[in-house]
Structure 1
C-alpha cells in the first residue's frame, strides 16, 4: 500500500461515525487534496466546544459560515457574533463561482447554493431584534463581577438587592440601580442603617463610578425591558432547519465591557434555564464568539473565573461554545483545555515571537506521521486548515490538513433593502422592539422621597405655626403689660407720690 492510500485509510477510518455528522471538507497530503477523504465532525461531540483560529484573511469567517449552515440543516439553532458585519449573507443563497465548483470537485462533494433562516439581533441602536436584560436578572453576584467590585462593595450591592426585594422595588435599568445607591446614603440613610447597618458613602460613590463607566459603553441600552428570552434562540423554521441568530456587533468593537457583560449574562441565563441534557446525540444550541479576545483581554480576574466555570458546566445543557480568534493564545489555557474541535487556519511567522507562538500552537495537536505540524501551519493556503475533532467515544480524530468546503450561502452582506425585508418579516422584532419603561425603583423611590419631603414640610409647617402662636401669645402679654405701663392714668395712680398722698389723707381722717 502506497503512502497516499495509507493516508486515505488513516483519515477515513478515524473519521467513521455511526451517528449524524458534519463534513468540513477533504484531507490534504503533501499539498494536494485527497478526494473523498472526508473530515467529519460528529454532532454528538459538538457540545464539547471548539476553536477556529488563524491569521487575517485565511478563511476563519467562511469556516464559521460553513459550520453554521450545516448545523442549521441538521435542525440545530446557531448564535453568531458578527463583529465585522459580514455574516448577514447567510440569509441569501450563494451566487456560485467557477472556483467554488473547482474546490468541490477536488473535495468530492457536490455544491448546492442555499439560503438559511436568519434572525438579526442587536445590542445597540442598529436595526434588529433588541437584546435586553434587567438589573434584577443579573443579580448581585454577577453584577458585582461585571463591575469588578471589591469584597466590601459587593456586599453593599447584595444589601441593595435585599432592600429592593424586601420593599418590592423592581431593579430594571441602570437608572434604578443608580437611584437606590444614592438613596442608601442620602434620603434613606437612617432606614438603611437601622435595617442593614451603616453603608459608606465612599463605597457607594466608587460603585456609582463603575456604573457610569459601563453606561458610557452603551449599557444603558442593554439594561431594561423587554428582557430577551433565551428560548427564542432555539427556534426552527417550517422545514425543520435551525434558525441562525446573528448578533450585529460592528459598532461595539471599542466597547469590550459591554460585549463581555452581554456574553456573560447570556451564558448565565442559558445555564440557569436550559434543562440538563447529558450525553445526547445532538446539541441544543451552538454559539460562535467571533473576535473572542474582546472578552478575554478586557475581562477582570473574577470575570474570567466566571467564564471558565460556565464553559466547563454549560456542556451538560447541550450548548457548544466556539471561539473565533486570530491566535489560540488569545483564549486562556483553562478554556483552551476544554475544547474538543480545533480548526487552525494558517499562521504567519514574521517575528521570533510569532515562530515561538507557532511551535506552542503545534503542540496542542495530536502527533501524526504525515505532517510536520509547525511547518504546515505556515504553509496552509486560504480556505485550508488543520482540523482535530473528537469522535463519538471522545477520542481525538486523526489530525488532517483540510481543504474546507465553500459556504452554500452568500459570502457577503445583505443590502439595505434585503435587511429591511428580513426584519419586516421577523416575529421577534414585533415582540422585543417596543421600549417599556414601567414603574420601577427609580419612580417608586422618587415617590417615596416626595412623600417623605411632603410629610417633613407638613411637620415643619406645623412646628412653625405652633412657634408663631407661642410668639403671638407672648407678644400679646408683653403688649398688655407694656400698654398698662404706658397708660398715664395708671401711671399716676400707681405712682409713689399718689400713693403717699392717699395714705396721708387716710391717716388724717382716721386721727379725727
Structure 2
C-alpha cells in the first residue's frame, strides 16, 4: 500500500535537526533549511495562483512527516492526495524534477507517506465531526453570521443547557434548545436579559441554511479525537491528515470555522511542553484569507491569542494564502518561517501589497527583495527561516526542492485502498445518537401533555358539586403557580401543562412542538 512505502534515507529530506526546503545552484543561495527547533514558531506560504504554493506545502508536509511530526492540511483542489503515493520515475515531470534536484544538490528519491483521509461528507475519507458544545457559541455565531443580539441569545441557550443538564450534541439539540428559550423568554429575561422571538427566528433560519450546506454532518458523535490526528505510523513517520475540502469550499464560512475550531481544540486540550526540539504537530491553514474575511474583532483577537500561545504546546501553524496582506498584522507578526512565491503587481493596490510584503523580510544586500518577489518563477520563492536563537534569517532566493510523493491527485480506487487500510475506519463509521437535549426536552413535553390531560378530565366520582351520603365534595383546587424555587425547566413544564388543558393549548403543541419532536 502507498502508506507502507519505505521511508526515504534520513539525509534525503532532513538535515540534522532541520527540514531541507531548497536553494543552491547558480544565482541562488546555499541550501535553505527550516530548523525543527523553530518549527512551532509558525509560518507563511504565500504567492499568486500557479506560482508553486501547493508544491511547497507538500514538500514541508513530507519533511515534517519524515521527522516524525504528524501534520494536518486541507486539500482544496484534490492535488494533495498524491502524498499517499510515491512519485513516478517515468512520469512527465521526472525530467524537470531531476534537473532541479541536480541544480540544488538534492538526492531525489520517490516515496509515499502515511496518509489518513477525512471528509465532512464521509465520501472521500473518514467522517469528521464535533459536537455543538465543543464548537461553542462564539464560533457558532461566526459560522451563522449572527448579530450581537443574536449571539447573546446563543450564549443564553448554551448557559441554560449547561444549567439544566441538556447536552448539545447535534443541530436538532440546538434547535430544540432555542425553542425552549423562546417558550420561557419572560422568565429567562428576568435573569439573563431580553430574548426576542425575532432573534430566535433569525437564528433558526441560519441553522436551516447551515443544514442545507451540510452542517448537519459536522455536528454529532463520535466526535473527532485529537489523538487520532496526532498519531505516528509504525515506521515512526508522522501521519499526514488530509481533509477533503473541494466540496467544502462551496461553504467557505463552514470551512474556515471548522479549521478554527480544530485549532482552538488543539490549544485548549494539549498540555504545555515548553520549547521542544521539534513540533508535536503542524497545522497548515490553506486559503487562510477565508478565516479573516469579514471576521469580527473578537474572532481575530482569538486567532492572534492562539497563534501567540499555542507554540508553547508544540504546535506549529502555517498559513497558506495568495497575499500576505490577507493576514492581519498582529497575526502576521507571529509567523517566523516564510516562503513567498511570486506576487503580480497589475494595479496600484497590487503594487502597494508587493511593497508591503517585501518590508516583512530582513534585507539581503545581494538583491532587491521587492524586485525578487515580482520576478521569481514557478517553483522558486523568496524565503526567510528563523536562525539560531530565533533570529529571522536574511531573505534568500530559493529553488524549492521537488516532492518525493506524487504531484497531483490519485485515482478513486487508490484513495479507497488507503481509506480501507486506515486504523480509524471502524471508530468513525457509525453515527451515535445519544440521549441529549432534543430527546430530554421531548420527554418533558410529552410528560407535560399527559399531566395536562389529567388536569382537564376530573375523576367522575369526585365531580364538583356532587352529593355523596349527604356531603358535598368541594371542587378540586386549581394548580398553584410556580414557586420562586422552581427551576426554569419546572416552570416550563407547568406552564406548558396549563396550556395543554385547553383545545388551543393542544394546537400550540401540535403546531410549535409537534414538527420538532416527531420521530426522526
Provide, for residues 46-100 of structure 1, a one-character-per-residue CA deviation record: whole Å limited to 9, x for no partner. Answer: 1111111111111110011110001111101110111111100000000031221
Provide, for residues 106-135 of structure 1, a one-character-per-residue CA deviation record: whole Å limited to 9, x for no partner. Answer: 101110101100000112242211111111
Provide, for residues 325-347 of structure 1, a one-character-per-residue CA deviation record: whole Å limited to 9, x for no partner. Answer: 11111111111111001101111
Structure 1 stretch 289-298 or stretch 223-232: which is displaced more?
289-298
The residue that corresponds to 1:7 in the other structure is none
Gapped regions of structure 1 (runs ≥ 5) = 1-16, 474-512
Distance 1:357 1:196 in 2: 46
The residue that corresponds to 2:493 in the other structure is none
1:240 aligns with 2:236: yes
Distance 1:316 1:47 in 2: 8
Distance 1:285 1:454 in 2: 54
Match of 2:105 among 89, 104, 108: 108
Q: Secondary structure of the residue that 2:342 maps to in structure 1?
A: coil
Change (3 A) 1:466 1:174: farther
- Post-superposition offset of 1:377: 1.3
1:26 aligns with 2:23: yes
Distance 1:185 1:333 in 2: 41
Gapped regions of structure 2 (runs ≥ 5) = 1-13, 469-520
Provide, for residues 420-440 of structure 1, a one-character-per-residue CA deviation record: whole Å limited to 9, x for no partner. Answer: 111111121211121111221
Change (3 A) 1:95 1:472: farther
The residue that corresponds to 2:299 in the other structure is 303
The residue that corresponds to 2:166 in the other structure is 169
1:184 aligns with 2:181: yes
Distance 1:305 1:62 in 2: 31
Paired positions, count: 451
Match of 1:231 among 216, 224, 227: 227
- Post-superposition offset of 1:145: 4.8
Contact 1:131 1:227 in 2 (8 A): yes
The residue that corresponds to 2:374 in the other structure is 378
- Post-superposition offset of 1:141: 4.4
The residue that corresponds to 1:316 in the other structure is 312
Give RMSD over aligned pairs: 2.4
Distance 1:423 1:125 in 2: 11
Provide, for residues 243-301 of structure 1, a one-character-per-residue CA deviation record: whole Å limited to 9, x for no partner. Answer: 00001100022211211221121111111111101111110111111111122214333
- Post-superposition offset of 1:228: 0.5
Q: Secondary structure of the residue that 1:224 maps to in structure 2?
A: coil
Distance 2:113 2:358 in 1: 35
Distance 2:212 2:253 in 1: 10
Structure 1 stretch 329-338 or stretch 147-156: which is displaced more?
147-156
Contact 1:146 1:303 in 2 (8 A): no
- Post-superposition offset of 1:183: 1.7
- Post-superposition offset of 1:319: 0.6
Contact 2:65 2:239 in 1 (8 A): yes
- Post-superposition offset of 1:149: 4.4
Change (3 A) 1:291 1:348: same
